[in-house]
Structure 1
Amino acid sequence: MSTNEKPRLLKMWDRALRLPLGPRVFTRAFQLAAPYFSTLPMLFTHAEPGLVRARLKHVRKVHNHLGTVHAIALCNLAEAVMGLAAEISIPASHRWIPKGMTVAYLAKARGTMHAEAVLVLPKQLADKQEIAVPVSVRDPQGVEVFTAEIRIWVTAKPAKS
């Protein structure tokens, strides 16, 4: 794949946008590829290299005992938006894996949550490099209720023989 060629998932996103309910179709395909994310009532709403947004419905299955969105549901939402951001931003010459996550719960999470992951690649992407991906989650009023910094480990793919 040339460096100018779009990543496969970004091509899928672009194609899905031409369909009725395209973001739902794309989100479902993503959830089928990574089945754990099927537990989230989420919808990707924006995807471009370096920036992914999604929303999480506030429904009973993501509630905690207080009736707010459960802390781990917010962590899972953060991982989903970061994962798509990494997949569509990291060049085909490299691969990535999550290395760690630091989170902060800033306010009660009530209502539909809106998550945003921003992945800024260094000018020179090296082999064996850690990259921090910040994720912000906001409530319907725009109040930031949760933040995460997800560190990913990026390595060059071995040359094919």
Structure 2
Amino acid sequence: MPDTFALYQKLTSLPLGKQAFSFLFAQKAPYFWSVRPQIREVRPHHAELTIAKRRAVQNHIGTVHAIAVCNGLEAAMGLLAEATTPKDRRWIPKGMEVAYTAKSTTDLLCTADTDPADWEEPGDVPVRVRAIREDGTVVVEGVITIYVSEKKK
């Protein structure tokens, strides 16, 4: 697959491009397809997508399951990492710490953000993630740490 961010930029300039990109991205990491992410925006240091509250991702009380929310957050983090990581480096997830702060009773907006200073040197990069209900309530927030290293020559 070509550079993810370059593909996003190319496809989103076309009609239905975001839908096409969302499908292709979820196929690159098939587990993401379980939440059917709909990509809204990708740029260096920021990514956002939505996941729909539908039966396949609900838990026994009818809210979006916590692991489905984390799946959406990890997808947003991956998009941010693809758009931000310098070409001479690579990244891999290292850990995730999240807090469940409210019930996930609607479709969710999943966001990921970093600061430029986080990327100056190889090493741990904290990616701030949040899942937000349609009424603006944050339902999950936390940090996904990725490890950024130099590519092998």
Please say whether Structure 1 and Structure 2 have the same fold, judged by a TM-score greater than 0.5: yes
In structure 2, runs of 5+ residues without a counterpart are none
* 4+ residue runs over 4 A deviation: none
- 1:107 and 2:102 matched: yes
SS across alignment from 2:129: strand
Note if contact 2:99-2:141 (Cα within 8 Å) is conserved in structure 1: yes
Give runs of aligned pairs for residues 41-120 of structure 1, distance below 5 A.
41-120=36-115
Note if contact 2:26-2:36 (Cα within 8 Å) is conserved in structure 1: no
In structure 1, runs of 5+ residues without a counterpart are 1-6
**TM score, norm. by length of structure 2:** 0.94
- 1:143 counterpart residue number: 137
| CA-CA distance at 1:123 after TM superposition | 6.8
Percent identity (aligned):
36
The alignment yields a C-alpha RMSD, in angstroms, of 1.5
| CA-CA distance at 1:121 after TM superposition | 3.5
Q: Which has the higher helix share?
A: 2
- The letter for the 2-side match of 1:67 is G
**TM score, norm. by length of structure 1:** 0.89
SS across alignment from 2:124: strand
Larger radius of gyration: 1
Question: 1:49-72: per-residue Cα shift (whole Å, max 9, x none)?
Answer: 110000000100010000000000
Give the number of equivalent residue pairs. 152
Report the CA distance shift for 1:67/1:123 in structure 2 as closer, same or farther (over 3 A). closer
Please point out which of 24, 28, 45 is paired with 1:29. 24
